[in-house]
Amino acid sequence: MAKQVQNFNAEIKQLLDIVIHSLYSHKEIFLRELVSNASDAIDKLKFQSLTHPTLLPADWAPAIRLETNPEQRLLKIIDNGIGMSQEEVTEFIGTIARSGTKAFAQLSQEMKSKPELIGQFGVGFYSAFMVADKVTLHTQKAGTSEGTVWESTGDGTYSIDSVPRPDGTGTTLTLHLKEFKTDDEVQDFTDAWNLKSLIKKYSDFIAYPIKMKNDKGEEETLNSQKALWLKSPSEITKEEYKEFYQHLTHDWNEPLKTVHYKAEGTMEFNALLYLPNKKPFNYNTRDTEFGLSLYIKRVFIMADCKELLPPYLRFVKGLVDSADLSLNVSRELLQQDRQVTQIRKNVVNKVLASLKDMLTKDRNQYESFWNEFGSTLKEGMPGDPANKEKIQDLLLFHTTSSDKMTTLDEYVSRMKADQKHIYYITGDSLSQVSNSPYLERLKEKGLEVLLLVDPVDEWVVGSLENYKEKTLQSIMKEGLELDTEDEKKQKEEERKHQTENLKPVLETLKKTLDSNVKDVVISDRLTSTPVCLVSSAHDPSAHMQRLMEQMGGQYKNPVKRIMEINPNHPVFEKMMKASPEQQSQWAEILYAQALLTEGSNLPDPVKFSQQIAALMVQAAESTKH
C-alpha cells in the first residue's frame, strides 16, 4: 500500500491544547503514559499466547527499551508486545475523531470542565505531543509480517504506510523532541540521568525490565520491578517491609506497624500502609503534605493523594494500587471519582480496625502510637461523623484514678452503680487540672474524672455527648449533681439557711462583680476552696474561650460565668464582719482567684498584686493588737 496522508476528523490542535494545559501539570508525565502503554502491550501478548503459543517469537524475553539521540533530539520507546495491525492503528487514531467537527467542538468544551472525558480519546498516546513536534509510530502485530508506520506533527493530518518493522513483533515510538529554550522549565528528555530519574519515579514497579544503554554501551535495567505490595504478606520479610517503608518515606526509623492487604469485591485494590514510630519534624506545620501514594497497575500516579485519606489519619504512610481506575486520572478527576471514594472508605475502615486490634492485643504498642498521634486521631470525632463510634473506642484519656491512660469503655466499667455521668475537666496541662479545686467534691465522693488537656478535646467532648448511655458532663459547668435524692433532701434546708445567713455577702458580690459574672450562688461543689467560676450549660467553657482567642477568634461580648461560693469557707464569716469597702475589695480578690483557679489570665495583674499586698499589711497590723 502506498503512503497515505489523511486528515483528522476532529480538531486535534484543540484537543492537544486541552491535554497539555488542562490535564497534566507536569510535561514529564508523558513518559509514564507511554511506558505504561508499552507494558500493556506486553501483557496482551502474554495473555493471547496462552491460547496461541505461536504468537511468541523465538527466545522472546519481554522488555521495554529507551534509546536517545541527543544530537537529533530523538527519544524512542520500544517494546516487544502485541503490536497493532494497520486497521487497529486506524481505529486507534479514529478514537479521537468518531464525532464530526461540530460534535467535537461541543465535546471539547465539556472536556475542559470534565477531564475524565479525555480518557475516551487515547490521551496516553497523545501526551507525547506535549514534548514532541513530530511523533512516529512503527508497529507490527504479533503473528503477522506486515508493519505499519503512522506519523504526525499534530497539525491536523497524519500519514500511514505499510513498512515491515525490522525488529518484528512490537512497537517503536519515536519522539522528535521540541527545541528547548534556556529559560524553559521543560526537562531535557534525551538526558540519561533525567530519564533514569523519571523511570524511578513513575515506572519503578512496572513488571517488565525497562532498559537503556549507559555511557559504556552496556544495557542496564532502570526499574526495580519489585512491587512489594502485590506479593503475599507471607512471602515478605520484616526487613523487606522496613526497607520499602524507608524508601517510600525517607524516615530511617522502623515503622511501628505495617498493614498490608488486598481489597476484593466490587472495588479491588492492593494497599501497603504504615504507622510511623515518631512524628516527622515538620508534622505540625501548615504546609506539610499528607496522603497515600497512588499507583494504577504498578504505575505511579501521584504522591500525597489526599483524596485517599481524611486529615485525621494523615499520619498514615503508604500506597494504594488499583487496576480499576483510569491511568489518565488527574487530581480534578480524583475529587469526583466514586471508585476513589470507595477506596478511601475501605482504607479508613482498615486503619481503624488495625488500631482497634493493636489496642486490644498490644496495649504498650498502642500507647506508643497514641503518645505520638493521638491528638491527630481525635480530630476524627468532630470531623468524621460516619466513623465516630469506631473512633470513640480508640480514644485514651488521663484520669484521676490512675497514672495509666483509660478508654471510655474501661471508665464505664469502673463507674459506681448509681453513677449516671462520665465526668471530665478541660485545661491547659495535667498539673493544672489534676490539682484543680473543681475536683474537690468528686474526690471526696470517690468519683473518677477524665483529665482533658489536649486543645482538640473541647471539640471531641462536644461531638461525643454520650457513651454507652452515659452522658459526658463537665465538672466546670453549672448543674453538677453529685448527691443522691436522699442527700439532696437533707441538704436542702441547710442550703436555705446558708443562703439567708450569707445574703449580705451574696448581694455585695453580685453588685461588685456585676460586669464580670451573671450570678453568684451557694454551692457544695467545693470543700476547701472559697469560690470558683462555672459556665452555664450551653455556654462555651473558659478553656474553649481561651483556645478561640489563641486561634485569633474573639467574642464580641465575652461570655459571663456563674460564681459559686463555698459557704463553709471561713473567708465569708470574716467578710460578714468587714466594712462595705473591704467587702468590695475582697469580692474583686475572690474573682481574681477564681480566674487563676480555672487557668484564665487576670484582666489587671498589677491591681490584684496591690490588693494582696494591702491585705497582708492589714493582717500584719491586726496581729499587733
Residue 114: pLDDT over 70: no
Ranking 271-275, 504-508, 612-616 by mean pLDDT, the lowest is: 612-616
Residue 624: predicted pLDDT = 63
CA distance 41 to 79: 8
Residue 22: predicted pLDDT = 56
Taking only Cα atoms into account, the Rg of the chain, rounded to an integer number of angstroms, comes to 36
Return the C-alpha cell found at 407. 478508654
CA distance 525 to 440: 7
SS3 475: coil
Q: Specify burial of residue 459 (Cβ count, 10 A radius: 0-12, 13-18, 19+).
A: middle
Residue 355: pLDDT over 90: yes
Q: For 223-249, write each residue's pLDDT tens digit.
A: 998 899 999 999 999 999 999 999 888
Residue 18: predicted pLDDT = 66
Ranking 21-25, 280-284, 372-376, 452-456 by mean pLDDT, the lowest is: 21-25
Average pLDDT (540-552) is 75
Q: For 422-480, write each residue's pLDDT tens digit.
A: 999 999 899 989 999 999 999 999 999 999 999 889 889 989 888 999 999 999 998 88
Average pLDDT (524-547) is 85
Closest CA to 407 of 468, 348, 482: 468
CA distance 159 to 181: 29
Q: For 257-272, write each residue's pLDDT tens digit.
A: 999 999 988 788 999 9
In CATH terms, are 228-369 and 487-624 the same topology?
no
Domain map (residue ranges) of the chain: 4-221, 228-369, 398-474, 487-624
> How would residue 8 be classed by pLDDT, with cut points 50, 70 and 90?
low
CA distance 292 to 114: 24
SS3 302: strand
Q: Among the residues of 301-362, which ranges form H helices?
A: 331-334, 338-361
Residue 613: pLDDT over 80: yes
Average pLDDT (317-338) is 72
Residue 170: pLDDT over 60: yes
**542, 600 Cβ separation under 8 angstroms:** yes
Residue 396: pLDDT over 90: yes
Percent of the chain with pLDDT over 70: 87
Ranking 59-73, 79-93, 340-354, 432-446 by mean pLDDT, the lowest is: 79-93
Answer with the residue of higher pLDDT: 366 or 488.
Answer: 366
CATH number of 398-474: 3.40.50.11260
CATH number of 4-221: 3.30.565.10
CATH number of 487-624: 1.20.120.790
Residue 415: predicted pLDDT = 93
Answer with the residue of higher pLDDT: 529 or 625.
Answer: 529
Query: Phi first, then psi: what are they for 262, rounded to 5°?
Result: -120, 125
SS3 625: coil
Q: For 582-592, write each residue's pLDDT tens digit.
A: 889 999 999 99
CATH architecture of 228-369: 2-Layer Sandwich (3.30)
